[in-house]
Each structure stands twice: as structure tokens, then as C-alpha cells.
Amino acid sequence: MSPTVFREGGFRFYFFSREESRMHVHVHGQNGEAKFWLEPWIELAKNYGLSQKELGEALYLIEKYEYDIRTAWHEHFRS
């Protein structure tokens, strides 16, 4: 299961339900995918084909919607 948190700018931001516990978000774009850590700070974890421009756009959106992403994480992964 990989619930979508939101879509914007041609990207889908989502979680994988059965993955590591460190807070992060996955991003799917037209040219690839990436994973960003949210803790201890926002940073790129892995990139699979997104350009530097796309990574910058995705990072901007993660920072813009950080509160919403964190809230969705806690709702989805609550014990």
C-alpha cells in the first residue's frame, strides 16, 4: 500500500506502508522517483532519474507542505 499525500507540479508525494520507520516521503515525477528524509532535517535520500531541476522543485514542495506531510505520516503510521 502506498497512500498518496498530495499531488502538485506533476509530482505525486506518497508513503510506502511497509518501510523503515525514519520519517520520509517518496516523490514520483514524469522522469523518475526520489526519496527524501524528513528527519532530522529534510534532505535527499535517493534519486532514481529525476533531474536536478525536478529535485529542486520537489524539495520546494516538500518544504512548502512539510506540516501536511508530517501530519499525514503520523496519521498513517500511528500505532
Handedness of CA 74, 48, 18, 14 (dihedral sign): positive
Please say if the pLDDT value at position 79 is more than 70: no
pLDDT, tens digit (0-9, with 9 covering 90-100), for 2-59: 899 999 999 999 998 777 889 999 999 999 999 999 999 999 999 999 999 999 999 9
Question: What confidence score (pLDDT) does residue 67 get?
Answer: 97
Please say if the pLDDT value at position 1 is more than 70: no
Phi, psi at residue 15, to the nearest 5°? -115, 155
Question: What confidence score (pLDDT) does residue 77 get?
Answer: 87
pTM for this prediction: 0.92
Contact of 61 with 13, CB cutoff 8 Å: yes
Helix (H, G, I), strand (E, B) or coil at 53: helix
**Which residue intervals of 11-65 are DSSP H helices?**
52-64
